[in-house]
Every structure is written in structure tokens, then in C-alpha cells.
């Protein structure tokens, strides 16, 4: 990548970082993407699955096609980086690097637009609402694959702690299936000095908080990965009143669908048992957010070969992460691969001090362009 394009991508990324938008609210981000695509002379369709944008670049006589995807949304986190291009939106920041993902996909479009060596069709998928709001499913429901045909699809996530620009390619699981959990425990309120006249929801809540961890330690094989984290408990408003309700919310992650099904069944069983034991009702809501992000070996090999062929460092040795990724829904519909590209020694994802490393924009854009060429030629 030439120096001028690298500088342009840095400016674009910092603009997006300074103007983050939450899931389903990416109007100006999508507008920015459309303006940049227009400047590159690449036709696009806006409004796919919400604020999604799909650009299409075709050349030559080949009928082969491939998709490249980047996510666009930010997080409800107050930024604490102190950088000059910090977020101008109070309480919102690009703490996961989607500003960099979007910019590097624009960079890949620029590289492929000026390269006459390939033949076929590349679909550039700019996805909204990745952070738990179902953007991938919304794009699929809006006819993404019928309207914009692609034989395979590829994407990446930046990865703090991995050397900058290194491409990590997994065989099999890359990131976990994720689900949001809610337990609503309903009892009967009353005076805190007369607990026998109430049905205290706090006691079964405390038991439930501990009991769900027995699923991980005693019902799941040590060879399988499961995470259950209860992150919030909300109950009561007065120190001398037993409340009538307690609500617990959290997340569940795993790397195999069969394990997910068994874990969900166990959560329902334990909740029903505690409800009967303490004379309360416990309503369990489990909202599946992502499937397991899974690379088939042939597609992982293609991604690794493309990265190495483009002169990028490649690793194959890191374990999967228990974080979730909306890209998993695309991989259930089409072959492809999801890789990590090192962000260097930076604060972690979803950290208020995190910032995407602009130095890896050339590597990320180069990888995306290279894997598209490889897929079209293979």
C-alpha cells in the first residue's frame, strides 16, 4: 500500500473514531461509507438490514464471487484515551475497533478498484448493529445473499496483545456462541423486620447466583468451554423493606452447540427447583446473540495462504476466545473464515482506554484484498 492511501485511511479512521454511533443508530457512519465509496467510483446499495451498506465491484469475465465484511457500530462506554481524535459523543466510543474494521474494508475496496489482475465480483458488506443487536441476521433477513451473491465470505477482528499486523488463523472454533440471560425472581414484599410474612426474592437470587456455576464445574466436561457470568442484580429501594422482585442479568458463552443446549436446559431446571424450594416464581429468559464462529479447515487454509502470500506474518497456534461475534451467522450460510489481526500492545477490547492501532490499517486492508483475490482464483 502506498503512503498516500495509508495516510488517507488513517484520517478516515480517526474521523469515524471521533463520531461513534451505537448499534442501529449508524446513520452518519453509513453516510460516510457511502461518500467514500462514491469517491472511489464503486457502486453501492444503502439501507440493507437497517443502516447496512453493500458495495459491489465486478471486473473480467469470471462468474466467481466473494464477500468481505466489516462492522460499523460503537459501544456505550465513556472514552478515556485522551487522544486528539477522541469521541465527541458523550458516553459512546469505538472501544472494539469497528472504526478500524470499516476503514480497512474501504481500504481493501480502494486496493481492488485499482488492481486489474483479478476477475469476478467482490461484495463489500458494511454491517450495522454487531454489538448484540442482531445486525448480521437483519442483513440476511433483508435478502443479503440473494441480492448480493457471494460464494464465500471473509472478515477479521483486531486483536490486542497479538503483534501488530500478524494474522491469526484458527481451524475450527474462533469465537464463542453467546447469549444474554435474565432471571426474574418474584416473591412477596413486606417489612424487613417481619421476613416470615414475605417471600423474599433475595435468598433464591443468592442461591441461583452460586448454583449456576455448578453447571460449569459439575455438569460440563473439562474438555468443553462454558462461561456463565451474572453481571447485574437489581432489587429493592429501601433498606427496611424486603422487595417483591429481584432481577439478575448476565451472559453465557460456549464453543459447541450441543453444550449450549445442555447448558440452557440446566439453567431452566435449576431455576425451577429453586423456585419450588423458596416458594417464589423464577422466569428465565435466554436470548441467543451469536452462534459459534467456526472456520472450516479448507477456508482457514485459504485465508492463511492469502495472508502469507501478501507478505503478512501468520500464526495458527492461539486458542479460540470466549468472546462472541455476529459474523458467525454469515458462516452458517456460506463458507469462509474469520481471522484476528494483531493490534499490538494496546488496552483490551471494550476498555475505555482502547484505541484501534492505525499502523495496522495497511496490513488489514491488504489481507482483505488478498483473501478476496485468492477466493476468486481458487
Cα(202)–Cα(193) distance, integer angstroms: 15
CA nearest to 338, candidates 73, 9, 97, 70:
70
- Joined together, the cell numbers standing for residue 194 give 417481619
- Joined together, the cell numbers standing for residue 347 give 488496552
Number of residues that make up the chain: 378
pLDDT tens, the chain, 378 aa long: 799 999 999 999 999 999 999 999 999 999 999 999 999 999 999 999 999 999 999 999 999 999 999 999 999 999 999 999 999 999 999 999 999 999 999 999 999 999 999 999 999 999 999 998 889 999 999 999 999 999 999 999 999 999 999 999 999 999 999 999 999 999 999 999 999 999 999 999 999 999 999 999 999 999 898 999 999 999 999 999 999 999 999 999 999 888 999 999 999 999 999 999 999 999 999 998 899 999 999 999 999 999 999 999 999 999 999 999 999 999 999 999 999 999 999 999 999 999 999 999 999 999 999 999 999 995
Cα(346)–Cα(332) distance, integer angstroms: 32
What's the pLDDT at 315? 98
Cα(220)–Cα(235) distance, integer angstroms: 30
What's the pLDDT at 1? 78
What's the pLDDT at 33? 98
3-state helix, strand, coil in the chain (%, to 5): 35, 30, 35
DSSP assignment, residue 188? B
DSSP 287-347: EEEE--EEE-HHHHHHHHHHHHHTT--EE--PPPEEEE-TTHHHHHHS-EEEEEEEEES-P
What's the pLDDT at 133? 85
For 282-311, letters b (16+ CB in 10 Å) and e give: bebeeeebbbbbbbeeebbebbbbbbeebe
- Joined together, the cell numbers standing for residue 206 give 443468592
Which domains are assigned to the chain?
3-161+345-377 (3.40.630.10), 176-289 (3.30.70.360)
Cβ count near 114 (within 10 Å): 10
Tell the residue number behind the cell numbers 443487536, with chain if given: 133
For residue 248, which phi and psi values (nearest 5 degrees)? -115, 135
Query: Does the pTM exceed 0.85?
Result: yes
Strands, DSSP E only, in 52-207?
52-59, 65-71, 120-127, 152-160, 167-168, 172-186, 190-191
CA nearest to 368, candidates 28, 124, 45, 114:
124
What's the pLDDT at 378? 58
Amino acid at each position: 500500500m502506498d503512503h498516500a492511501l495509508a495516510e488517507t485511511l488513517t484520517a478516515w479512521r480517526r474521523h469515524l473514531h471521533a463520531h461513534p454511533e451505537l448499534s442501529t443508530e449508524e446513520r452518519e457512519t453509513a453516510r460516510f461509507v457511502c461518500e467514500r465509496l462514491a469517491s472511489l467510483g464503486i457502486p453501492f446499495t444503502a439501507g440493507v438490514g437497517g443502516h447496512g451498506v453493500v458495495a459491489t465491484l465486478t471486473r473480467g469475465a469470471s462468474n466467481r464471487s466473494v464477500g468481505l465484511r466489516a462492522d460499523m457500530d460503537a459501544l456505550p462506554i465513556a472514552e478515556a484515551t485522551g487522544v486528539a481524535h477522541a469521541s465527541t459523543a458523550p458516553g459512546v466510543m469505538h472501544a472494539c475497533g469497528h472504526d478500524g474494521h470499516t476503514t480497512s474494508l474501504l481500504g481493501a475496496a480502494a486496493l481492488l478498484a485499482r488492481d486489474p489482475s483479478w476477475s469476478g465480483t467482490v461484495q463489500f458488506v458494511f454491517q450495522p448493529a454487531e454489538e448484540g443487536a442482531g445486525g448480521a441476521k437483519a442483513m440476511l433477513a433483508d435478502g443479503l445473499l440473494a441480492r448480493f451473491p457471494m460464494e464465500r465470505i471473509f472478515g477479521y477482528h483486531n486483536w490486542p496483545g497479538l503483534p501488530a499486523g500478524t494474522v491469526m488463523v484458527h481451524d475450527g472454533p474462533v469465537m464463542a456462541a453467546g447469549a444474554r440471560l435474565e432471571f426474574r425472581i418474584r416473591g412477596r414484599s413486606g417489612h424487613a423486620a417481619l421476613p416470615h410474612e414475605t417471600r423474599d426474592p433475595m435468598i433464591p437470587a443468592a442461591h441461583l447466583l452460586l448454583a449456576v456455576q455448578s453447571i460449569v464445574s459439575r455438569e460440563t466436561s473439562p474438555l468443553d468451554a462454558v462461561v456463565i457470568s451474572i453481571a447485574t442484580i437489581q432489587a429493592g429501594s429501601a433498606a427496611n423493606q424486603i422487595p417483591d422482585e429481584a432481577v439478575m442479568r448476565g451472559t453465557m458463552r460456549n464453543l459447541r452447540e450441543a453444550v449450549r443446549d445442555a447448558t440452557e436446559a440446566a439453567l431452566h431446571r435449576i431455576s425451577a427447583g429453586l423456585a419450588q424450594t423458596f416458594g417464589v416464581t423464577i422466569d428465565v429468559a435466554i436470548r441467543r446473540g451469536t452462534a459459534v464462529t467456526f472456520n472450516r479447515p479448507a477456508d482457514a487454509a485459504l485465508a492463511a495462504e492469502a495472508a502469507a502470500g501478501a507478505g503478512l506474518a501468520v500464526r495458527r497456534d492461539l486458542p479460540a476466545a470466549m468472546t462472541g461475534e455476529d459474523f458467525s451467522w454469515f458462516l452458517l450460510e456460506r463458507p469462509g473464515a474469520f481471522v484476528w489481526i494483531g493490534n499490538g500492545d494496546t488496552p483490551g477490547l471494550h476498555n475505555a482506554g482502547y484505541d484501534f492501532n492505525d499502523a495496522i490499517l495497511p496490513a488489514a486492508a491488504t489481507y482483505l484484498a488478498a483473501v478476496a483475490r485468492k477466493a476468486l482464483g481458487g
